[in-house]
Amino acid sequence: MEKTVSEAIAYRRAVRVYKDIPIDTEKVKNCIHNATLAATSSNLQLWEFYHVTHKETLSKIAKACFNQNAAKTAQQMVVVVSRKDLWSKRAKANIEYVESQYPEKDLSEKQKRRKNMALNYYGKLIPFTYFDFLGIFGWIKYLSFWVVGLFRPIYRQARNSDLRIVAHKSAGLAAQNFMISMAALGYDTCPMEGSDTLRVKRILKIPYRAEINMIISCGIRDEKGIYGPRFRIPFDEVYHPVT
């Protein structure tokens, strides 16, 4: 029986050692599908997921992850990749979807306004926000928005570095969806920061402009794979009610 959301969250731990027991590839793939349902900025879905099951490839990636136990004992891995460079392609996909949902004939005035707003958003605002040239245009936008922001609220994340963060935040949300979905099935994961991402990109033939968000090892936890009780900062220290 699958765990509830709360049970899955409580069950999930960063597992550093896995048992030598295979896990179901299709179930892991379904968890990746759940990852694609995560919240994402402007619905651009600037992510990709590389599902690694081949033993030789796993061994190569483990070496690029410094042969840490979480990588070395993994049955499978999922490499979450941020694709800010695909913003134009994903914006066009959204435009096509909007067009399919709002055919020209028999639209009410409300539907026409909604359609035009969405088309302007993906056809004009997204290109204006994401387009850049050597970082120059991003800084021009940033400074312009900063001046306007002196007088009214305005979106300020206009530089290339800002938009990289936006794309990585969406990829991180997707990764969490994946790990909670795995936990619900009784499978275990470990998001690994320690890796030579350039080598991993070469192993998986990931495009140059793509960026690895995280590498997640997968398997079934060994008892020694949990390195102690879970520690969290006291809730009152991080919780700030605003009344």
Rounded Cα distance, 175 and 214, in Å: 8
pLDDT in tens, 41-98: 999 999 999 999 999 999 999 999 999 999 999 999 999 999 999 999 999 999 999 9
Q: Is there a single domain that holds both residue 31 and residue 70?
A: yes
Q: Looking at the structure, do residues 74 and 36 belong to the same domain, yes or no?
A: yes
172-223, pLDDT tens digit by residue?
999 999 999 999 999 999 999 999 999 999 999 999 999 999 999 999 999 9
Report yes or no on 222 lying in a domain. Answer: yes
Q: Which of 111, 133, 161 is the last residue of a domain?
A: 161
- Is residue 165 pLDDT above 90, yes or no? yes
Angle subtended by helix axes 160-184 and 25-35, to nearest 10: 140
> For residue range 100-122, what is the model confidence (pLDDT) as tens digits?
999 888 888 899 999 999 999 99
Close Cβ partners of 84 (under 8 Å, ≥ 6 residues apart): 46, 130, 163, 164, 166, 167, 209, 211
Residues 9 and 82 in one domain: yes
69 & 138 share domain:
no
User: Considering the chain, what is the average pLDDT of its residues?
Assistant: 95
Q: Is pTM, for the whole model, over 0.85?
A: yes
Range of the domain at 124: 87-161
Please indicate, yes or no, whether residues 156 and 168 belong to a single structural domain of this protein.
no
CATH, residue 73: 3.40.109.10
DSSP class of 211: E
Total number of domains in the chain: 2
- Helix, strand or coil, per DSSP, at residue 215: strand
